[in-house]
Amino acid sequence: MKVVNFGSINIDHVYRVEHFVRPGETLRSDDYKVFSGGKGANQSIALAHAGIQVVHAGKIGKDGVWLKHKLERIGVDTDLIETAEAPTGHAIIQVNKDGENAIIIHGGANESIVDDDIQSVLDSCEVGDCLLLQNEINGVDKILIEAKKRGVRVIFNPAPVTEAVKRYPLDSVDTFIINVVEGEMLTAEKEPKKIIASMQTRYPMSKIVLTLGKEGVIYADSEHLLSKKSLDVDVVDTTGAGDTFIGYFLASLINGEEIEKCLEMGVRASAICVTRRGAADSIPKKEEINM
């Protein structure tokens, strides 16, 4: 069983700032670095580090070939990554002194997915495979329709969330992995417990994972309602923490672990991620996680 992750690949431009820039303000940054990123690619890297066979599908520009090579070195299958005319997607990321981030993304090549790409990626899914999706590429609604037709198990992380996500055919999603912002957009509820309840009413067959940042995570399905607290660590940079959680949680789920253990793996991996700078580069390897 493998994961096919149809998702973004970004070049992250990361600026360390005293505070997030305000309207009309010109702000000097203390430090600037370029990292590899993209919610999709980060999640593929976390899965590969966790020992799962993962095929990443997506698009880069000619300026992003180094990102493809990096994924290959880490053990991600990159046969379904194509080079487009558009430049590679990128992110402008401010990280403040508390390690929080504010991110602007530009889709670039991530948004040049055409119907033929969707067909070939879905054709590569075999019975029992998982299709992992985020919301940083175009065509996610079409991908969901094709996945439903073929009975593919979909894990959906609707980030970054937009109004349009509410109109996606979400009824066939096996597992939603959302944060409070995404949960509020999908349900119009603000309280975590109400978000969970509303998601369960709307999507009774789905599993719901609601991440709460430093408050931890809640998991719900028709039989379980579980929560797990985050670990107390010195936070340097939270970028990629959600992606790390997703990769490690999903890896444990695929390996048939109990939900409790899946949540624990995700929480431990993301606790290590936030103590390091950058997104993809801060994702720990399996042997770094003490279980």
CB-nearest residue to ligand RIB: 37
Q: Count the Cβ atoms, other than its own, within 10 Å of residue 130.
A: 22
Minimum CB distance to ligand RIB, residue 222 (Å): 29
Strand 10-16 relative to strand 31-37, pairing: antiparallel
Q: Site mask, ligand RIB, residues 132-151, x = CB under 6 A?
A: ----x---------------
One residue of 103, 145, 185, 231 binding ligand RIB per CB under 6 A: 103
CA dist., res. 76 & res. 40, Å (int)? 12
* 221, burial (CB in 10 Å: exposed 0-12, middle 13-18, buried 19+): middle
Q: Site mask, ligand RIB, residues 60-99, x = CB under 6 A?
A: -------------------------------x--------
Number of H helices, E strands in the chain: 8, 13
Binders in 185-244 for ligand RIB, by CB under 6 A: 239-240, 242-243
One residue of 37, 58, 64, 266 binding ligand RIB per CB under 6 A: 37
Q: Binding-site residue total for ligand RIB (CB under 6 A)? A: 16
Integer-rounded Cα radius of gyration of the chain: 18
Evaluate the CA torsion angle 280, 284, 286, 287 in order and state its sign. Answer: positive
Q: Which residues bind ligand RIB (CB under 6 A)?
A: 8, 10, 12, 37-39, 42, 91, 103, 105, 136, 239-240, 242-243, 279
Q: Which residues are part of the catalytic machinery?
A: 243
